[in-house]
Amino acid sequence: MCCCNLNQALKELTVFKPMLASDADLTTLRFPVIASPKLDGIRAIVIDGVVMSRSLKPIPNKYVQSLFSKCKHMDGELIVGEPTSKTVYRDTVSHVMAHDKTGFDVRFCVFDHIEYLDRTYVRRQKKLHGVNGSVYMHASKVINNIDELIAYEEECLALGYEGLILRDPDSKYKCGRGTAKEQIILKLKRFRDDEALVTGFEERMHNGNEATTNELGRTARSSHKANMVPMGTLGALQVNFNGIDFNIGTGFDDAQRAEIWANREAYIGKLAKFKHFPIGTKDAPRHPVFIGWRDRSDT
């Protein structure tokens, strides 16, 4: 059970943990809920004047610490650039996890206040009113039924977000991961994020086979190996996830492909964050797309 206030919890660090969301089950969801767009930055909680990651380790960047260390008891997400950018996660990691980078566009998007953990979410949320500058209160909306939820999800997806976070307005702060049954905090996301261990690499190949037109009138090429020409850059990461080996070949730009291929040894053993479509998955994740590198201090 979580302690009633932060100071009590900090006396027992094995007890206090940032609250994490579980997957929503729409067939059992109880209303009303407070919904907000799901962010994809780096979790941050300010404890005793230090900006901590979700693993309760200090965020390494000195600039971030100077900006947000006075945001006492605030729980939120660090975002570099636009929150709906396709590269927001990797952009945020590359800046806030670097010790000496400074002067970059970073915001602290706050969604909870952890001074009194036994207060309801609505009461905790009120403590966030009045923040300004690089600290802003994350948008949220009261949702009363499934039709409103679907409409709000569609609105957020159209803006470029990948899902929603749902909270019980009357729930206390839970230390650790909530459950679908409790419905304290849930995530509604059609794609799922996971991390896989990099075990190897495949080179990108240019298909030099002659183009033909198939039965559907589309251009097609044979995959005859003799005419596949190495391009000297990354084609795909070879990874292992939950004991299953597969490749991640999309989500990289040309500069990333070149950099990884030129420094392959440095990337062996790294954790690649990727998104995939979980429905219908039997073995390897479906449609895996590279998002960025998971810093081990944030695991």
pLDDT band, residue 211 (cuts 50/70/90) = low
Q: Which among 127, 112, 142 has a CA at the least distance from the CA of 35?
A: 142
Alpha-helix runs per DSSP H in 23-181: 62-68, 88-96, 121-126, 146-159
What percent of the chain shows pLDDT beyond 90? 75
Distances, alpha carbon 23 to alpha carbons 162, 194, 200, in Å: 14, 13, 31
d(CA 34, CA 170): 10
The CATH code of domain 193-298 reads 2.40.50.140
Q: Look at the alpha carbons of 164, 82, 99, 63 in this order and tell me if their dihedral is positive or negative.
A: negative
Residue pair 50/69 in contact by the 8 Å Cβ criterion: yes
With 0-12 / 13-18 / 19 or more C-beta atoms within 10 angstroms meaning exposed / middle / buried, residue 91 is buried
Residue 60 bridge partners (DSSP): none
Q: In what order do the strands lie in the sheet with 192-207?
A: 244-248, 228-241, 192-207, 271-277, 286-293
Q: Which among 79, 54, 49 has a CA at the least distance from the CA of 65?
A: 49
Token pair recorded at residue 219: 């251009």
- Torsion, Cα 156 160 165 169, to 10 degrees, reads -40
d(CA 115, CA 250): 42
Of 62-76, 120-134, 214-228, give the lowest mean pLDDT range: 214-228
pLDDT band, residue 4 (cuts 50/70/90) = low
> Taking 80 as the threshold, does the pLDDT of residue 280 lie above it?
no
What is the domain class of 6-189 according to CATH?
alpha beta
pLDDT band, residue 1 (cuts 50/70/90) = very low
**Number of Cα atoms under 13 Å in the Cβ half of residue 141:** 15
| Mean pLDDT to the nearest integer, 58-81 | 97
* Residue 113 main-chain phi, psi, to 5 deg: -135, 125
Which residue ranges make up each domain of the chain?
A: 6-189, 193-298
Q: Are strands 185-189 and 22-23 parallel, antiparallel or unpaired?
A: parallel
d(CA 89, CA 251): 12
Q: Tokens 């977000």, residue? A: 161
Task: Give pLDDT tens digits for 124-180.
Answer: 999 998 888 899 999 999 999 999 999 999 999 989 998 999 999 999 999 999 999
Of 40-44, 92-96, 184-188, 222-226, give the lowest mean pLDDT range: 222-226
Residue pair 125/171 in contact by the 8 Å Cβ criterion: no
Q: Which among 35, 111, 126 has a CA at the least distance from the CA of 79?
A: 111
